Structure 1
Amino acid sequence: MSRFALQNWKHMDYIGVEVENPPLISYLAQAKEECSFMPLTSLELLKQHGNKVKRLREGNLKELNTVKPTNSSGHQALSTAGIMKLARAQLFVLNSQKADVLSSVASCIGAQSALGSEFSEDSGLAILLQAAAENVVNQQYVYSRKLLNKCNHFSSKSGYPAQRIVHYFAEALREKIDQECGMVASLEDLEGETRRPIDEKLALVSLQPGMMASQQENPFSLVSQFTAIGSIRATVATARRVHLINFGLDNGSHWTLIMQDFAAQYNYPIELLKITAVGTSKQMMEETVKWLSAFADSISLPFTFNIVVSDLKDLKEDMFKLEADEVVAVYLDRRLWTLLAWPNYLEALIAVISKLKPRVMVVKEMEASTNNPIFLERFHEALIFFSGMFESIKDCMDNHIFYRKLTEEVYCRNMIRNIITAEGKERVHRHERVAFWRTLFAKFGFVETALSQSSFRRASMFLKRSALYSSFTIYMDGKCLILGWKRTPFISVSAWKFQYDSE
């Protein structure tokens, strides 16, 4: 957590106990009206662009890459995800006309790119990429390779967000073709780079300095953390002994928010704050213990820290050292998706958590549906999700180019590759939307509860102060907070109470 964030958190008024029917932030309601997250189907997109589509159906293919919405300042109005959706609709038109995509689109890209038309080139690339994916499904591998070769010629991992997206998705599709044709993967990709196994944990450690440095430019983490942690704080506000269980500790800086509030609390002085971290890196958690303990000493907070070194699938209730007089709260920060490939392990974990009888369980997950067993549906879902992600990374990490490249070229690249090329248990990168989690949690006695409005107001203040405020989208799905970028949802934050506690 940045020093700026901590200072502002400390200086804002805190409402520890929730008031009845708290007022909803006006700008949130406005954002919900103006920026609907409902996914657009190809037919809906065709309706939106009725006049253009009519001319396309009449055979005027020259207009395919001249659809170029702009705003008053002359800049591109469509987001990268919007370009991908529109391209899917345009591909639908071409397919309905039984047109040759390669000859119809590729020539337009070359002609338009000479004129410096960024949108035209990106739109054409998006059409070629999605046509290649359709041809892979139909086992038209020769034609798909031709489409991907054209994608490779015009895309780049150092270009605009759409060009970078096409670069990585085309790379993954080529590997999928190699697998399905029984070909041994080449030791070098098209750029001549030797392929090496990617150590994601090592990559994430390398990314930490950049992520922390870019935090003030990227309010996503602040908004989600303030809402999540603040909701836990509000739920345990009057407890004397609090046990926070954190699945996935990262650097632990988010807990300093609660620690400061507990230290300044006089009406209900806390007797002990216990944090239990669950993870596989003992060294990283021990380093976190040291500085959080030092922080607790500096603010005179009674504090203790436990470490549980274990995979999520191997957790048992007796590992948490629960005491009868403590109030338990659980925080799951983008960890549940790691077990989606193993439903039995996922359900076993939720069963263990339910036995802990937490006062509240706060869950933060990626809001996407890349767990679809149908390849083409999974491909399109991932394409939209990462299109939004790449654009937000570019804008939010503009002052940290090295870490932006590291995020895309290592972490995102590996996720895209796994989603596109792997099947069965090997496809470990899977995500689900909040509706899935609602169904799962209900099976184990968890009921959804409202997030802390006071904490949400705090978080919203940071969002409104951001220079990128107009690009962020935020709305409520029932009681769940959804954060996104230019209509593309990214993160869900939800709070749950165990049924036993609410009776």
Structure 2
Amino acid sequence: MDSGQAKISHSQNIHFDAEAEKEIRSLPFNSLELLIQYAPKVKRLRVENCTEKKSGTPTNTSSSSRSPLLPAAGIIELAKARLLQLHSQKADVVSYAATSFGAQSGLPSEVAEDFELALRLLAAAEKIAKQQFIYARKLLSMCKLSISQSGNPIQRVAYYFAEALQEKIDKEWGLVSSEETERIKKGPTDVELTMLRLRPEMMRCQQEIPFCLYTQFTAIQSILDCVASAKRVHLIDFGIDNGSHWTLIMQAFSVRYECPLEHLKITAVGTSKPMMEETGKWLTSFAETISLPFSFSITVSEMKDLKEDCFELEADENVAVYLGLRLWTLLPWPNQLDRFIKLIKSLKPSLIVVNEMEASINSSVFLERFNESIVLFSAMFDCINSCMYHRVTFRKLTEEVIFPGMIRNIVIAEGKEWIQRYEKISFWRALFGRFGIVETDMSRPPPEQEILFLGSSELLSCCTVELDGKCLLLGWKGSAIQSVSAWTIQQDD
């Protein structure tokens, strides 16, 4: 397999630029505009029979590029179960994988082909774990016949995992070229720089994924409920991005006539000073349009380097902390993670809201993290395939720029170089519990709004929201992708 297949050329970069400009013009500006855009549908949804909606088959204008009968993550799980069965029967997996066994599985033909691909890919990873690289290469050669960057979600996710597995073999055999090593050291490629330039538009586009809006709403609503009577509120956001989610709480504060807000302060914490400054200007302008007393400050720092004096806290402020997909970045350094949790506790927030990926990709055992990660990415590829089918350029940027680097890091890197790690809610419960931080109920939208946020059209039946304790697990076609939870500091007796 040509390890250069997954690289994106300069000409493709120009293509991304041109195509992205077309799609940017049709993107909604922020989450508030998305709500306004969907608002007329709420009344209709209230009177429609939701049971009928959920029983319908989701439609997709690009249905030819996906397997509609079984989700991608479901195909991976079926292949994992079949592989275990083969091991219990002491069967020769390589010989079995070389045959066309999909037709005997009882699955429809289009799903059977993907099932064969998934089993061969999982078997290749097993052989690599056992350092049986010749067998692994043979299995990957079989996969090469079915994988495709332009196929359905399972074929696309398999493409990038197969590329990463091949590179892992090449690394083990010392076949990675010095040019490739230097390329990695040099930093971002042209297309990665394009992705950075388009980051605001990427985030707006990603907000069209149903549970992204739902996550933002539940997080903001939980904070809003917690500070309902506070006159001075200080929100600390680690990784604020474009800040559009805060427009929801700002608008709510602006019409809180029974207990007028005296002042709202938002502190953004991150490493990109220009981006945070731009976000601050935009939020300040928004606050002015709704006559909200507001100030914005930034703290430029890596999370591991933060100290309590980095924050301008005042005695009469009610503090709330939002950690949106940030804690995982400290998983490679447990001591720094512990120090960060202590820092958060020292801020004495009324509420801590945490949003994390719901996956256990933090095992030193290669095969365990491979199997967990391929299920997660299969669900994500499936999700963006349906939700972003009309944003082809941004879907491709996500799949061809963002995801490959994440997958390569999980599959190839070891030790401190392996930074792409995630943990499930059970891990965070145990960690927070050690520091006297306890879980509290999340605020959920009413049923008609829940339908709205999870997709007011054919995507409704694909989104899932489940309770795990007091935590909400948000997923796609039954596979959990993210968790959102709320926490308070336990009061000493």
TM-score by length of 1: 0.81
Which of 172-181 and 431-440 deviates more? 172-181
SS at match of 1:330: strand
| Counterpart mapping for 1:441-456 below 5 A | 441-454=432-445
* Distance (whole Å) between structure 2 residues aligned to residue 402 and residue 433 of structure 1: 31
Equivalent in the alignment of 1:5: 34
Residues 208-231 of structure 1: CA deviation (Å, up to 9, x unaligned): 314414534x21211000000110
Residues 340-370 of structure 1: CA deviation (Å, up to 9, x unaligned): 0011111111111100000000000010111
* Distance (whole Å) between structure 1 residues aligned to residue 396 and residue 37 of structure 2: 30
Q: Percent identity, aligned pairs only?
A: 54
Residues 159-201 of structure 1: CA deviation (Å, up to 9, x unaligned): 1111111111111111111222233248689xxxx98854778
Equivalent in the alignment of 1:173: 165
| Total equivalences in the alignment | 438
* Distance (whole Å) between structure 2 residues aligned to residue 197 and residue 121 of structure 1: 38
SS at match of 1:451: coil
1:275 aligns with 2:266: yes
Equivalent in the alignment of 1:78: 70
User: For residue 470 of structure 1, what is the amino acid of its counterpart?
Assistant: S
User: For residue 167 of structure 1, what is the amino acid of its counterpart?
Assistant: Y
Maintained 8 Å contact 2:125/2:367: yes
| 1:402 to 1:122, Cα distance in 2 relative to 1, 3 A | same
| Counterpart mapping for 1:46-65 below 5 A | none
| 1:475 to 1:268, Cα distance in 2 relative to 1, 3 A | same
Equivalent in the alignment of 2:8: none
Equivalent in the alignment of 1:44: none
Equivalent in the alignment of 1:317: 308
1:98: how far off?
Answer: 4.1
SS at match of 2:299: strand
1:203: how far off?
Answer: 3.3
| 1:283 to 1:215, Cα distance in 2 relative to 1, 3 A | same
Equivalent in the alignment of 1:90: 82
User: For residue 377 of structure 2, what is the amino acid of its counterpart?
Assistant: F
Equivalent in the alignment of 1:475: 466
1:389: how far off?
Answer: 0.6
1:495: how far off?
Answer: 0.4
Structure 2 stretches of 5 or more lacking a match? 1-29, 43-49, 56-66
Query: Which of 305, 321, 328 is the aligned partner of 2:319?
Result: 328
User: For residue 132 of structure 1, what is the amino acid of its counterpart?
Assistant: A
Maintained 8 Å contact 1:229/1:255: yes
Maintained 8 Å contact 2:103/2:109: no
Maintained 8 Å contact 1:84/1:126: yes
Which of 299-308 and 442-451 deviates more? 442-451
Equivalent in the alignment of 1:396: 387
SS at match of 1:465: coil
User: For residue 156 of structure 1, what is the amino acid of its counterpart?
Assistant: S
SS at match of 1:369: coil
Query: Which of 259, 262, 283 is the aligned partner of 2:253?
Result: 262
1:239 aligns with 2:230: yes
User: For residue 376 of structure 2, what is the amino acid of its counterpart?
Assistant: F
Equivalent in the alignment of 2:402: 411
Query: Which of 335, 351, 375 is the aligned partner of 1:344?
Result: 335
1:359 aligns with 2:350: yes
1:103: how far off?
Answer: 3.9
* Distance (whole Å) between structure 1 residues aligned to residue 261 and residue 41 of structure 2: 21
| 1:310 to 1:468, Cα distance in 2 relative to 1, 3 A | same
Residues 305-331 of structure 1: CA deviation (Å, up to 9, x unaligned): 110000000001011110001100000
Equivalent in the alignment of 1:370: 361
| 1:99 to 1:454, Cα distance in 2 relative to 1, 3 A | closer
1:151: how far off?
Answer: 1.0
User: For residue 365 of structure 2, what is the amino acid of its counterpart?
Assistant: I
Maintained 8 Å contact 2:38/2:452: no
